[in-house]
Chains A and B, each alone.
Chain A
């Protein structure tokens, strides 16, 4: 056996090598699997060492804190599952309806008006209905900035609909990490497209100089997918237009960054969701 590897093995078993040394040993093991038996013998001895420390009965505090933390986690997970379940059962249109009922009401009315237009195409009222459509469009444009943001989001998703069947749309749950367990959200996307809508809530407004940044994670590489502003209630919406199809990413994360954003995540990861 290589002398250097032989020197490193005991410290490998004890978990006391530098990262570089550990990689060196593991690379050697790939080429020399027969050395594993020797390491396993050493690991048996190393794994007994925790029992050399005298056991000490803990106070009640850590257990109480742990169980409270777990209860909060279960509530957050349960909330995400309920939200996910509602999304699946009510479909995409109702998903938007929950986001912004007033917008959907207006949109539904618009659709109804168009339908009526088709039904009464030969009718003299067509022109009046067209006037109504125009009026409704004007009303939509007059909505407050949040409504406009949603309008844009829906517009971008709808633009994809002619090329993709509705069933291609998927909803991915994005959950709060231990840094923001109360946060939850959803990403609506056709995995084969390069656009998606992210809706989140439960994200506390940040102090001046900080902003939430969205990351799409490809393998181990996070790629910025834009900044995310939230309102006073902790809700935010963002349209993502990544360079590659959503399916080429395996997760989405949100971190806290300096107000102009970062090249790589530098702050706390507050939300995370895998695209399973």
Chain B
């Protein structure tokens, strides 16, 4: 399969937008009128001090990705939006526990979402549909524009989505399947072996190879988490 990302004129447009206005290049000004320009880490520190407007900015920045993660497992939009709300409520309550040295805010945020999704999935005891595992083939993404999100941030987010999807297209379907079952559904290796009918050793190998391959492909895509 050709790499639609690298040949896409959309990529150039996105990167151009990012060059004009990248949130990583903004100074950490404490000016509340320019919250949208503050780094995630600066906003989190304001949330720790009880600034709800800072949380709102983080929400606008990441809500569509968080909802996407939730909808990955739950078809019910209302349930997925409840998870979205609960995710940011936990950011509000536990912002003080975030430690930048252990990873970016986005990684921390998505881990909260993922844990909520997995908990709900386990409570509902729903088995994933096989068809869901193989929908990475087209890295083109249909994204409904979020009217609350900053244009440059949307562009940056879209670029990350494209990079990851493009990286995943390089993985064999059965490896992607293991990643999907383990990460989004929180299935243990034994559960995956049972669901796929493969020996446990095969699942171990697939998981290891999948992560190694994905890491290499992300590097090729110049993905910055």
Contacts and interface: CB of A to CB of B under 8 A. Distances in A.
B145 A57 contact: yes
B211 to A, nearest CB: 5
A45 interface: yes
A49 interface: yes
Interface in A59-87: 59, 61-63, 65-67, 69-71, 73-74, 77
A62 B85 contact: yes
Interface string B127-153: 000000000100001111111110000
A51 B161 contact: yes
B161 A61 contact: no
B68 A14 contact: no
Interface stretch (A15-23, A130-138, A218-226): A15-23
Interface in B175-225: 179, 182-184, 186-189, 204, 207-208, 210-212, 214-215, 218, 223, 225
Contacts of B173: none
Interface in B30-78: 50, 52, 55-56, 59, 63-65, 67-69, 71-72, 77
Given A16-B183, A44-B218, A53 B65 contact: yes
A65 B85 CA distance: 7
Given A10-B207, A56-B67, A44 B215 contact: yes
Nearest to A77: B50
Contact of B114 (A13, A15, A44): A15
A57 B146 contact: yes
B22 interface: no
Contacts of B88: 66
Contacts of A44: 215, 218, 225
A50 B161 CA distance: 9
Given A57-B144, A74-B52, A48 B214 contact: yes
Contact of A18 (B72, B188, B204): B188
A9 to B, nearest CB: 8
Nearest to B63: A58
Contacts of B184: 49, 53
A41 interface: yes
A17 B182 CA distance: 9
A16 B67 contact: no
B107 interface: yes
B64 A56 contact: yes
Interface residues of A, number: 42
A247 interface: no
A17 B188 contact: yes
Contact of A14 (B65, B110, B147, B182): B182
Interface of B: 50, 52, 55-56, 59, 63-65, 67-69, 71-72, 77, 81-82, 84-85, 88-89, 92-93, 103, 106-107, 110-111, 113-115, 118, 136, 141-149, 157-158, 160-161, 163-165, 167-168, 179, 182-184, 186-189, 204, 207-208, 210-212, 214-215, 218, 223, 225
A77 B49 CA distance: 12
B81 A59 contact: yes
A55 interface: yes
Contacts of B164: 48-49, 51-52
Contact of B141 (A13, A45, A55): A55
A55 B161 contact: yes
With most chain B CB atoms within 10 A of its CB, the pick from A13, A15, A47, A48 is: A48
A57 B147 contact: yes
B82 A47 contact: no
A42 B59 contact: no
Contacts of B188: 11, 16-18, 21
A18 B187 CA distance: 9
Given A51-B164, A63-B63, A70 B204 contact: no
Given A15-B114, A16-B189, A73 B207 contact: no
Given A10-B208, A73-B92, A52 B168 contact: yes
